[in-house]
């Protein structure tokens, strides 16, 4: 016999059907690996099921799962075994060799994938999800100052790698919600 | 809205492909977890009853609850060889960005300009790298006295990861990768006992953007990610094939899993423990889709490790996953230090636990945000 009530089971199934694809895409951006993203989503949804009685409001479920994805991805990196297969790294490039060649979506995308999990998550939440610094901090489980720092460092790395003509923000507050 | 970044993320999301989720499988998994927790609560209560009975008749719990075939002899108490100090840094989490702080090295307190640091400990000293917000990657040494710079540019410092500088669980060696030279990362091994570098060499495949991070020093080998190790005795870099055996041969390690023979050897740094009643239960396979409670065996005696919270210590472990601890330091062959996890009610509490009898003590109470310990990533 299930421990959760039937109406909770049905509501959970409906949520999974409606939102799992979007959550998986987000997980993939954060963790950068298909299999790990799949594991992340499944883990976050399982935790949501276990916590369901506290999360009856649909908006709370979404936020809870998204937060679990981000914080679990960060904690997996923290606890990782260094015997995992090497992560594909961005090859050395010299941004000054050919500014036009590197100032492309390909370059930005490649360097984005090379960022650590926290920095990539902070950029994604600020620049794709359009969350404010406070909303981003809540979702990442950290302070606003930490969000600012992660975005600052990440944008610096992207500018260094992709070159000055890549169309990246020149200011950490440019083009995002405050 | 920055369209370049937005397009880059959109492209990455398109690359994700499609995920087919089996909702029923998730429900089954969730139900299993809920049943496990209920069973653990019942077993914990039953075990407590058995212990009370055992105490009354004067029989030790190792005879009633010990594993293995036949009677379990009282395990030998290891003789500590090198004893380490508990190491942590407290800083002002709500203060200025450079976060002045203090390093605590046993009973010594060292004031430093930034407490927001990556740190590790040897038998002699604390070694730490200023990174994170300061992003300068300098490596420092203190034995309780004024800090002294011993390195210039630790590669992993800006990322905030706890493996910027790494040491063994015993001994005087510390390792980091130095990124001072552009596009080149050099492995540096430093002896805090003698105060000198013993290794500095470039490692093929470890450039400044193909970054290598040191993972651990076990015996005479420096293990780093990308599946490689550096042998201090021969000076050679090789594919990592010795880690498991090196751990089993080292007195400061654990084997996590069903048995000593089949479990996963680990130096135990970062090993999480869930709070389950009064017990601290090791967790295995956190990176898999189903992290599970597991057994642990210490490499010195090969006996099961069963840790218990201090008497009267209040800790919660609810469905939101709060309430766990993780092992961050070996103090001697029989004693480990654990710290309460982020967002947990015991956040920052430092426990010391003896493996031979499972008893833990609250060594240093936490005070919320503003503490990092040896081997931890920077918060946030």
B284 inside 8 A of chain A by CB? no
Tell me whether residues B9 and A128 touch, CB distance under 8 A. Answer: yes
Rounded Cα distance, A70 and A44, in Å = 10
Residue B334 confidence (pLDDT): 93
B272/A149 Cβ within 8 A: no
> In terms of DSSP bridges, do strands B295-298 and B254-257 run parallel, antiparallel, or are they unpaired?
antiparallel
Q: What is the largest CA-CA distance in chain A?
A: 66
Beta-carbon contacts below 8 Å between A and B = 196
Cα(B150)–Cα(B276) distance, integer angstroms: 43
Identify any residues that bridge with B111 across adjacent strands, giving them in sequence order: B102
d(CA B48, CA B117): 42
B158 CB near a chain A CB, below 8 Å? yes
Do the Cβ atoms of A46 and B35 come within 8 Å?
no
Give which of A2, A118, A128, A150 to mutate to test B binding, by max B Cβ within 10 Å: A128
CB B271 within 8 A of CB B257: no
Give the C-alpha separation, B220 to B86, whole Å: 24
Chain segment B194-205, per-residue pLDDT in tens = 999 999 998 877
User: What HEC string does B203-228 produce?
Assistant: CCCCCCCCCCCEEEEECCEEEECCCE
According to the model, what pLDDT value does residue B345 have?
53
Contact assessment for residue B119 and residue B378, using Cβ atoms and an 8 Å cutoff: no
On whether any CB of chain A is under 8 Å from the CB of B210, the answer is yes
- Cα(B187)–Cα(B198) distance, rounded to whole angstroms? 10
Quick one: closest CA in B to A152, which residue? B133
B225 → closest Cβ in A47, A82, A91:
A82
Q: Sort out which chain A residues have CB atoms less than 8 A from B320's CB and list them.
A: 47, 51
Residue of A nearest to B8 (CA): A109
Taking Cα atoms as reference points, which of B199, B299, B194 lies closest to residue B246? B299
pLDDT averaged over 10-residue windows placed end to end, chain B, 380 residues: 81 85 89 70 49 46 35 39 84 62 89 78 90 68 92 70 81 90 85 93 71 82 82 86 87 92 90 84 63 85 94 64 76 93 68 96 82 71
B24: nearest CA partner in chain A: A13
Chain centre to alpha carbon of residue B285:
15
Residue B213, chain A, CB below 8 Å: the answer is: yes
pLDDT, tens digit (0-9, with 9 covering 90-100), for A166-176: 778 776 666 56
Contacts of A49 in chain B (CB under 8 A): 26-27, 29-30
> What are the φ and ψ backbone dihedral angles of B187, each rounded to 5 degrees?
-75, 130
pLDDT (0 to 100) of residue B81: 59
Contacts of A140 in chain B (CB under 8 A): 380
Task: Provide Rg for chain B, Cα atoms.
Answer: 22
Distance from the Cα of A58 to chain B's closest Cα (Å) equals 17
| Distance between CA atoms of residues B241 and B227, nearest Å | 9
Could you tell me if A92 and B207 are in contact, meaning their C-beta atoms sit under 8 angstroms apart?
A: yes
* Contact criterion met (CB below 8 Å) for B4 and A128: no
CA B55 – CA B358 distance, rounded (Å): 17
Q: Which residues from chain A sit within 8 angstroms of residue B177, using beta carbons? A: none
| Residue with more model confidence, B138 or A96 | B138
Name the residue in chain B with its Cα closest to that of A172: B2
Residue A125 above 80 pLDDT? Answer: yes
Q: What is the structure's pLDDT at A19?
A: 93
d(CA B327, nearest CA chain A) in Å:
11
User: ipTM of this predicted complex?
Assistant: 0.77
Please give the residue that has the higher pLDDT: either A83 or A138: A138
* Cα gap B119→B122, rounded to integer Å: 10
pTM (two decimals): 0.62
3-state secondary structure labels for all residues of chain B:
CCHHHHHHHHHHHHCCCCCCCCHHHHHHHHHHHHHHHHHHHHHHHHHHHHHHHHHHHCCCHHHHHCCCCCCCCCCCCCCCCCCCCCEEEEECCCCCCCCCEEEEECCEEEEECCCCEEEEECCCCEEEEECCCCCCCEEEEECCCCCEEEECCECCHHHCCCCCCEEECCCCEEEEEECCCCCCCEEEEEECCCCEEEEEEECCCCCCCCCCCEEEEECCEEEECCCEEEECCCCEEEECCCHHHHHHCCCCCEEEECCCCCCEEECCCCCEEEEECCEEEEEECCCCCCCEECEEEECCCCCECCEECCCCCCCCCCCCCCCCEEEEEEEECCEEEEEECCCCCCCCCEEEEECCCCEEEEEECCCCCCEEECCCCCCC
Q: Measuring CA to CA, which residue among A58, A57, A29, A53 is closest to residue A41?
A: A29
**Residue of B3, B8, B206 for testing the chain A interface, max A β-carbons within 10 Å:** B8
**Cβ atoms B298, B313 nearer than 8 A:** no
State the nearest Cα–Cα gap between A152 and chain B, in angstroms.
Answer: 9
Which chain A residue has the Cα nearest residue B1?
A: A175
Structural contact between residues B295 and B282, judged by C-beta atoms closer than 8 angstroms: yes
* Interface check B16 vs A, CB under 8 A: yes
Confidence band for A102, pLDDT divided at 50, 70 and 90: very low
Please write the tens of the pLDDT for every residue from A44-76: 899 889 888 777 666 778 888 888 888 878 766
Residue from A8, A34, A83, A162 whose CB has the most chain B CBs within 10 Å, to mutate = A83
φ/ψ (deg, to 5) at B76: -65, 140
Helix (H) / strand (E) containing A137: helix A133-140
End-to-end CA distance of chain B: 25
Of B159, B211, B287, the CB nearest to A76: B287
Q: Does the beta-carbon distance from A50 to B223 stay under 8 Å?
A: no
């Amino acid at each position: 016999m299930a421990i959760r009530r039937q109406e909770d089971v049905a509501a959970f199934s409906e949520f999974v059907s409606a939102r799992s694809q979007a959550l998986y895409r987000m997980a993939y951006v954060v963790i950068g690996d298909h299999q790990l993203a799949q594991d992340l989503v499944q883990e976050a949804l399982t935790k949501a099921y276990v916590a369901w009685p506290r999360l009856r409001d649909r908006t709370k479920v979404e936020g809870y799962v998204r937060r679990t994805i981000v914080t679990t991805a960060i904690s997996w990196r923290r606890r990782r075994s260094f015997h995992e297969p090497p992560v594909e790294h961005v090859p050395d490039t010299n941004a000054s060799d050919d500014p036009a060649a590197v100032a492309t979506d390909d370059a930005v995308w490649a360097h984005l994938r090379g960022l650590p999990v926290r920095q990539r998550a902070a950029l994604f939440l600020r620049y794709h999800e359009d969350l404010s610094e406070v909303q981003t901090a809540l979702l990442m489980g950290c302070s606003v100052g930490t969000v600012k720092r992660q975005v600052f460092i990440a944008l610096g790395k992207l500018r260094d790698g992709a070159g000055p003509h890549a169309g990246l923000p020149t200011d950490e507050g440019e083009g995002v919600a405050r | 809205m920055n369209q370049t970044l937005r397009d880059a993320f959109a492209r990455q999301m398109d690359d994700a492909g499609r995920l087919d989720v089996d909702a029923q499988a998730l429900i089954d998994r969730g139900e299993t977890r809920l049943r496990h927790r209920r069973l653990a609560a019942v077993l914990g209560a039953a075990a407590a009853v058995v212990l009370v009975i055992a105490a009354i008749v004067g029989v030790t719990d190792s005879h009633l609850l010990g594993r293995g075939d036949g009677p379990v002899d009282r395990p030998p108490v290891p003789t500590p060889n090198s004893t380490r100090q508990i190491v942590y840094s407290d800083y002002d989490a709500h203060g200025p960005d450079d976060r002045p702080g203090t390093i605590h090295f046993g009973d010594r307190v060292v004031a430093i300009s930034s407490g927001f640091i990556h740190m590790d400990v040897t038998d002699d000293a604390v070694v730490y790298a200023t990174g994170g917000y300061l992003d300068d990657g300098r490596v420092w040494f203190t034995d309780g006295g004024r800090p002294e710079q011993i390195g210039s540019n630790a590669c992993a410092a800006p990322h905030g990861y706890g493996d910027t500088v790494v040491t063994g669980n015993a001994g005087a060696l510390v390792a980091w990768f130095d990124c001072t030279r552009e596009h080149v990362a050099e492995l540096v091994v430093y002896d805090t006992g003698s105060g000198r570098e013993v290794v500095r060499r470039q490692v093929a495949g470890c450039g400044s953007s193909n970054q290598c991070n040191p993972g651990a020093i076990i015996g005479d080998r420096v293990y780093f990610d990308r599946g490689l190790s550096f042998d201090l005795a021969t000076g050679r870099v090789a594919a990592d094939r010795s880690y498991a055996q090196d751990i089993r041969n080292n007195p400061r390690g654990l084997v996590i899993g069903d048995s000593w023979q089949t479990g996963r050897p680990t130096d135990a740094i970062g090993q999480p423990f869930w709070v389950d009643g009064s017990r601290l239960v090791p967790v295995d396979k956190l990176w898999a889709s189903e992290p599970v409670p597991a057994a642990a065996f210490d490499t010195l005696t090969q006996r099961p490790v069963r840790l218990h919270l201090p008497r009267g210590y209040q800790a919660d472990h609810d469905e939101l996953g709060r309430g766990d601890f993780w092992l961050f330091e070996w103090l001697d062959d029989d004693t480990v230090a654990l710290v309460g996890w982020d967002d947990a009610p015991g956040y920052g509490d430092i426990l010391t636990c003896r493996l031979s009898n499972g008893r833990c003590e609250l060594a240093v109470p936490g005070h919320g945000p503003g503490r990092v310990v040896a081997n931890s990533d920077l918060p946030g």
